[in-house]
Amino acid sequence: MAPNERLAALSAAGVSIWLDDLSRERLTSGNLQELITDHSVVGVTTNPTIFASAVANGESYDEQVRALAARGASVDDAVREITVADVQQACDVFSGTWEATGGVDGRVSLEVSPRLAHDTDATLAEAVDLWKAVDRPNLLVKIPATEEGLAAITNALAEGVSVNVTLIFSVERYRDVMGAYLDGLERAAANGQSLGSIASVASFFVSRVDTEIDKRLEKIGTDDALALRGKAGIANSRLAYAAFQEVFQGGRWEQLVAQGARPQRPLWASTGVKNPEYADTMYITELVVADTVNTMPEKTLVAFADHGEVEGDQVIGRAADAQEVFDALERVGVDLTDVFVVLEDEGVEKFEQSWTELLETVQGQLDATR
């Protein structure tokens, strides 16, 4: 079967299509390979929510859980072994993509425990441990872009760990993340690491921004406020891309490029539409631009394959329009600083809840086999 034409066109526009999901069933059934072949998927992202759902709803983990229970593994060790095994297998499935793209794509992400989001040293230790445990060059270790996470990102990169920086909501924090990346590369070079083997993406969340801001706009309730619904997430992302273009040029960056460095691409995350009144592919179509990743839940991927449109670059040259949206949000009374604080806090909290759910699910399965 030929690749889906709509998704192939998206890929040709410079957007790397990653799937925001992973399960052992996808791996063992060949479904993931089918998505690579037929839907132009070139990477995978995971998070605690995804693993909690996979383990709770699938039977593919039963044999491993029985073996873990038989040897008396703790629930933390069991979760580690289960998730590492899935990511290792996914990395192997994507090894051909990784080689064909020179290490740009074919990437699979695995997140450090969200319980460590505000502990720099513990985050770094787990990031290095996961890197060694998975032992695949196309792994990305996910580290949240909390203030404490920034130093962990730099230190992990300095040790040669490739990083997916997650939970980025504001352009201001995104600039901090890019700074942490450049610092990490410079330290890696000083440590004798090969910069060509280090990769990173910066996961900039989209739909959650609209969800939070739309709620505030509806509370304000004026015509001017209501007219801004559904515009903030895309505007925020376009401003982020303008910052990306600004940072990855000039003398400092050119020195790193000369040593083999590659840019930290923006990754559009949370691209499944939360509001059913919005077009289900809006966070794909409106953010088409080269040198980006769009990680999609399968529902959004299938929707775009069915009726998504690629209408050329929708980002470059639109920063001024995006800033006008943000200016208008402030004029109607939206406290953007507070929005981004709330989103980061809620993001960490939601992942912590999913992590707890994952631990409880695995504990229940261990108990059932003992």
Domains of the chain with bracketed CATH: 5-369 (3.20.20.70)
Could you read off the pLDDT of 39-87 as tens digits, one per residue?
999 999 999 889 989 988 878 999 999 999 999 999 999 999 999 999 9
Query: Which string of DSSP letters, residue by residue, matches 225-241?
Result: HHTTTT-HHHHHHHHHH
Q: What is the chain's mean pLDDT, rounded?
A: 96
Task: Write the CB contacts of 298 (distance below 8 Å, at least 6 apart in sequence).
Answer: 19, 21
Residues involved in catalysis: 142
What's the pLDDT score for residue 56?
Answer: 86
**Token pair for residue 266?**
């923006």
pLDDT score at 59: 84
CA–CA distance, 7 with 278 (Å, rounded to integer): 20
* Contact yes or no for 122/133 (Cβ under 8 A): no
Contact 191, 185 (CB under 8 A): no
Strands, DSSP E only, in 262-333?
265-269, 292-296
- The answer to whether the CB of 206 falls within 8 A of the CB of 270 is yes
pLDDT tens per residue across all 370 residues of the chain: 689 999 999 999 999 999 999 999 999 999 999 999 999 999 999 998 899 899 888 789 999 999 999 999 999 999 999 999 999 999 999 999 999 999 999 999 999 999 999 999 999 999 999 999 999 999 999 999 999 999 999 999 999 999 999 999 999 999 999 999 999 999 999 999 999 999 999 999 999 999 999 999 999 999 999 999 999 999 999 999 999 999 999 999 999 999 999 999 999 999 999 999 999 999 999 999 999 999 999 999 999 999 999 999 999 999 999 999 999 999 999 999 999 999 999 999 999 999 999 999 999 989 988 7
Would you state the torsion angle of the CA atoms of residues 244, 322, 300, 141, taken in this order, to the nearest 10 degrees? Answer: 30
For residue 289, CA distances in Å to 265, 311, 318, 365 come to 11, 10, 11, 44
